[in-house]
């Protein structure tokens, strides 16, 4: 179950550079994280414009889930640095009562070095195509006309499709998520799994 919780948080959570808010003020969204209708944590997504056409994206989540014989605690933080519409550096940190984990994606001039060491998941590779949209960008812009979105957590791409209901389906290997938008704003994320779905609901 911890694998599903960690995966959900990532979706989880970043980030492209879109229209900046006035006066370089940050854009912030708060979400409740629920399991079976019970609130188990919160997530905060922040987009902060910087000088010289740079943008910093930060995602912070804090979750505590009581299971039958133990309690899962997860603190998750993503920081992404964009120059224009290109990802320059992404760091992911996950601190849990099962250990600490990290992922890193860094532009090296003509390619990205990618290292992902997460709970029951490890990946190391390179990517030569500039990344202009990541999973956590979804908290600030609807992924219209996009068929893939980069996951900073996994160091790989989710395949995106629009459903007949108007939602977005994201698939990477055996992982599946659903993103629900209303008037261009992300209002719900559903993490599907055989044990229990995890839901994020917009609070503001």
Tens digit of each residue's pLDDT (9 = 90 or more) over 88-131: 999 999 999 889 999 999 999 999 999 999 998 999 999 999 99
Structure tokens at 131: 């990344």
Structure tokens at 130: 């500039």
Give the chain's count of helices (H) and strands (E): 1, 14
- At which residue do the structure tokens 């229209």 appear? 19
Structure tokens at 12: 């989880």
pLDDT tens for 136-190 read 899 999 999 999 999 999 999 999 999 999 999 999 998 999 999 999 999 999 9
Side-chain half-sphere of 39: how many Cα atoms within 13 Å? 10
CA gap 172, 155 in Å, rounded: 11
HEC sequence for 94-156: EEECCEEEEEEEEECCCCEEEEEEECCEEEEEEECCCCCCEHHHHHCCCCCCCCEEEECCCCE
């Amino acid at each position: 179950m911890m694998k599903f919780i960690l995966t959900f948080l990532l979706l989880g959570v970043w980030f492209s550079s879109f229209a900046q808010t006035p006066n370089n003020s940050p854009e912030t969204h708060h979400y409740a994280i629920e399991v079976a209708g019970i609130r188990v944590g919160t997530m905060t997504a922040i987009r902060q414009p910087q000088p010289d056409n740079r943008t910093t994206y930060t995602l912070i989540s804090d979750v505590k889930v009581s299971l039958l014989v133990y309690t899962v605690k997860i603190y998750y933080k993503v920081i992404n640095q964009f120059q224009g519409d290109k990802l320059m550096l992404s760091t992911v940190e996950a601190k849990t009562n099962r250990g600490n984990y990290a992922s890193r994606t860094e532009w090296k001039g003509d390619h990205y070095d990618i290292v992902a060491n997460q709970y029951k998941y490890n990946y190391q590779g390179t990517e030569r195509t500039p990344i202009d949209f990541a999973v956590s960008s979804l908290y600030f812009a609807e992924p219209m006309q996009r068929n893939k979105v980069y996951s900073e957590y996994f160091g790989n791409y989710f395949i995106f499709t629009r459903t007949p209901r108007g939602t977005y389906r994201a698939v990477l290997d055996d992982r599946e998520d659903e993103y629900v938008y209303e008037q261009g704003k992300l209002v719900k994320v559903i993490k599907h799994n055989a044990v229990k779905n995890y839901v994020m609901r917009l609070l503001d």
